[in-house]
Homo-oligomer: A and B are copies of this chain.
Amino acid sequence: MGDLITDAVEGTLYYVPRSEIARIVGLKIDPVKRTEAFATLARLNTLYMVARAGSGHLGGSFSSLDVLAWLHLEEMDDNDVYFSSKGHDAPGWYATVIGLGRIAEDNLHKLRRLGGLPGHPDVGFPGIVTNTGSLGMGISKAKGMVVARRLQGKPGRIFVTTGDGELQEGQIWESLGSAANHHMDELTVIVDHNKLQSDTLVKNVSDLGDVAAKFAAFGWHVERIDGNDMVQVAQTFRKLQTVTGKPKVIIADTIKGKGVSLMEHTAMESDVEYYRFHSGAPDGGTYRTAAQELIARVNAQLTEMGVPPVAFETVEAPTRAAPPAGVQRLVGAYSAALLEHAGKLHNLVALDADLILDTGLIPFKNAYGERFIECGIAEQDMVSQAGGMALNGLLPVVHSFACFLSARPNEQIYNNATERTHIVYVGSLAGVVPGGPGHSHQAVRDIAAMKGCPELAMIAPCTEAEVAMAVQWALTRTSRNAYVRLESVPWSVPFALPADYRLELGKGCVLTEGTDAALFAYGPVMLSQAHAAAALLKAQGIGLKVIDLPWLNRVDAIWLADVVADVRRVFTLDNHYIEGGQGETILAAMAENGIAIPATRFGLEDIPCCGTNDEVLGAHGLDAQSLVRRITQVLGF
């Protein structure tokens, strides 16, 4: 989690080709030394992939790469399976399997691109055995694999890495008991205990206490090692081959960012609160310093062994357009709005699940530290805590990414709703873009998942100004629960809301006039596509009335009848699956109110692709050009 920052690296990028890695892998030398050299090369290629993609998780890829390299080079056989439960460390795994020639080498250049390497693991890609990226599911999935293999009489072991912050997820502990009860010694979990989670040190977010004692209490065989010491890694896996009757866990103490001095968390200045290399690409200078250190290290390693140095390839970083001027930053606007209201609403508390940076809570925490409750990666606990707070006089505002917030604590949100308390849920990173992290992070079913919670109104603002209105409404104009859906990606919008626009329940506003058709949308991304489509259609003589309706599950019937009275077709455009999205609400309201205008829904019809924002919008037919094509087709022009 923590996956928003997209940086641009310029200049020359370095990678090591498969052929050179194959040469190292083929060396008849001490396996420990060989694997160390391999891990350094994998780090260089990981760095290259993330720098080129502009996003991705370096810190956790680096911390786990020594274990990963040993597993793949020395420990596992063809019957064994490896996957990462958190999935954030996918770049490190890609570098490993590309290095071993298991997937095509040109994938090195395609991280987080359409048709390339998914941002988080997806079974559509060769060698990936399960989809991860949302935390805490991996051990359960591995257990399912063990059950299947046992029933089928198939041999083999399952190796799963988890993060340490990930251990805050209840599902981890929910999954441990039956693995022990069923003596699943086929299963080895490696906790990449790099001491940092998305935002900062695990101990500052939600201290794990004695991790080894916890696993032992759940009946697991526990080893604790320095996970960046290849000798210990090698010895421990060898030892575990003889441990039977119990599932096994290796608590691997590692260093986040391991291998690049300036990225190692142990190099953090003591007064720096937040670690910089959890996700996102480094800047150009940092990239080159890091690459040079890795190149120097591997060549020193090779020279020491009397082996010729590695030949690197270079490539110029793809040029990236500078972000357009005047972008709308909804999360920033949210930060400001929350801060403003917090000054007046003294019972307001903000709850976070290890996404303080991405959900815009740092200003609030700095100003109202006592009223900031960091819950760690524990969404169910966070939401139920909010329930208890609301019952006792507080006004809780609950934050996470929309994909996690709507689904992970889904029943807990409903339970709170049945208490008729006032709680505000704020889900950021909503919608299909950014497309880089992939479908585990693309929140495109949150509207559906949140439906049917009594008196829960959902609002998706499209501009910074509308964010302020939405926050004001949720905090002061309702006494029940509300969901504010924030698209996080900074977006340049070609429209402005009418000067006299005020947020009213179930009503929206018209952004462009037209009588051939009306198109309802919400949020900056889709309204921008719609607005651009309207301009293109206008040039063809087609009038498209684009309507911002920020209410996702509420429509005022009178307003609706009025706003579509002069059009002959209605379109809806969801930044969400069509099923369960806003379009469903609007179309149902039309039928219910006798508005007999033919209607067509646009939105996601299948699992969202991973890629750049433009690639993803285009692939799903949701960019302005596609909308023009689809609208003219429906209208029969």
Query: For this complex, into which size category does the number of interface residues on chain A fall?
Result: 35 or more
State whether A584 touches B588 (Cβ < 8 A). Answer: yes
Q: Contacts of A509 on B, CB cut-off 8 Å? A: none
1/0 contact trace for A380-404 toward B, CB 8 Å?
1111111111111110100000011
Interface hit among A279-287, A405-413, A535-543, A615-623 = A405-413
The one of B152, B171, B373 that contacts A147, using a Cβ cutoff of 8 Å: B373
Q: Which of A408-452 contact B (CB under 8 A)?
A: 408, 410-412, 414-415, 417-420, 439-440, 444-445, 447-449, 451-452
CB <8 Å contact, A418 and B144: no
What sequence of 0s and 1s flags, for each residue 117-161 of chain A, a beta carbon within 8 Å of any chain B beta carbon? 000001100000111101011001111111111011000000000
| Complex interface bits, A184-220 against B, C-beta within 8 A gives 1, otherwise 0 | 0000000000000000000000111110011011110
B217 close to A376 (CB less than 8 A): no
A210 contact set on B, CB distance < 8 A: 217
Residues of B within 8 A of A599 (CB): 591-592
Nearest 7 A-B pairs (CB), nearest first? A144-B388, A170-B174, A170-B170, A445-B452, A140-B384, A596-B596, A451-B580
Task: Assess the B218–A122 pair: CB atoms within 8 A.
Answer: no
- A547 CB to nearest chain B CB (Å): 16
Whole-angstrom distance between the Cβ of A290 and the nearest chain B Cβ: 33
CA distance A452 to B175 in the complex (A): 26
Which chain A residues have a beta carbon within 8 Å of chain B's beta carbons?
A: 122-123, 129-132, 134, 136-137, 140-149, 151-152, 168-175, 177-178, 180-181, 206-210, 213-214, 216-219, 349, 370-371, 373, 375-376, 378, 380-394, 396, 403-404, 407-408, 410-412, 414-415, 417-420, 439-440, 444-445, 447-449, 451-454, 553, 570, 576-577, 579-581, 583-585, 587-588, 590-592, 594-601, 606-607
- Beyond A178-B206, A598-B594, whether A448 also contacts B454 by CB under 8 A is no
B residues less than 8 Å from A454 (CB atoms): 577, 606-607
Inter-subunit contact B144/A392 (CB<8 Å):
yes
Max chain B Cβ within 10 angstroms of own Cβ: one of A143, A147, A169: A147
What separation, in Å, do the CA atoms of A370 and B151 have in the docked complex?
A: 8
Give the shortest distance, in Å, between A4 (CB) and chain B (any CB): 19
Instruction: Give chain B residues whose Cβ lies under 8 Å from the Cβ of A411.
Output: 134, 403-404, 407-408, 410
Which B residues are CB-close (under 8 A) to A419? 123, 130-131
Q: When the two chains form the complex, which single residue of B214, B444, B448 contacts A580, counting CB atoms closer than 8 Å? A: B448
A181 & B152 in contact (Cβ 8 Å cutoff)? no
Residue numbers in B under 8 Å from A381 (CB-CB) = 140, 143, 171, 174-175, 178
Q: Which residues of chain B are near A376, meaning CB under 8 Å?
A: 177-178
A594, closest chain B residue (CB): B598
The answer on a CB contact under 8 Å between B181 and A391 is: no
- Complex: how many Å from CA A381 to CA B174? 6
With both beta carbons as reference points, the residue of chain B lying nearest to A454 in the complex is identified as B607
**How distant is the Cα of A122 from the Cα of B417 in the complex, in angstroms?**
12
A158 and chain B: residue at smallest CB distance: B388
A392 to B144, CA, bound (A): 8
Name A388's closest neighbour in chain B (CB-CB): B144
| Distance in Å: Cβ of A296 to nearest Cβ of chain B | 41
> Which of B134, B373, B592, B597 makes the CB contact (< 8 A) with A415?
B134
Q: Enumerate chain B residues within 8 angstroms of A597, measured Cβ to Cβ.
A: 591
A167 vs chain B, min Cβ distance (A): 9
Q: 5 interchain pairs (CB within 8 A)? A: A123-B420, A144-B390, A147-B388, A445-B453, A449-B452
In the complex, how many angstroms separate the beta carbon of A365 from the nearest chain B beta carbon? 15
Question: Which residues of chain B are near A579, meaning CB under 8 Å?
Answer: 451-452, 553
- A148 and B414 in contact, given A178-B206, A451-B448, A584-B585 (Cβ under 8 angstroms): no
CB < 8 Å neighbour of A168 from B130, B151, B177: B177
CB distance from A249 to the nearest CB of B (A): 13
User: Taking CB as reference atom, which chain B residue is nearest A600?
Assistant: B592
* A564, chain B: closest CB distance, angstroms: 11
CA distance A209 to B444 in the complex (A): 40
Which residue of chain B has the shortest Cβ distance to A385 in the bound complex? B144
Contacts of A408 in B (CB 8 A): 410-411
Pairwise interchain contact B389-A148, C-beta atoms closer than 8 A? yes
Q: Which of A122, A386, A445, A601 has the most CB of B within 10 A?
A: A445
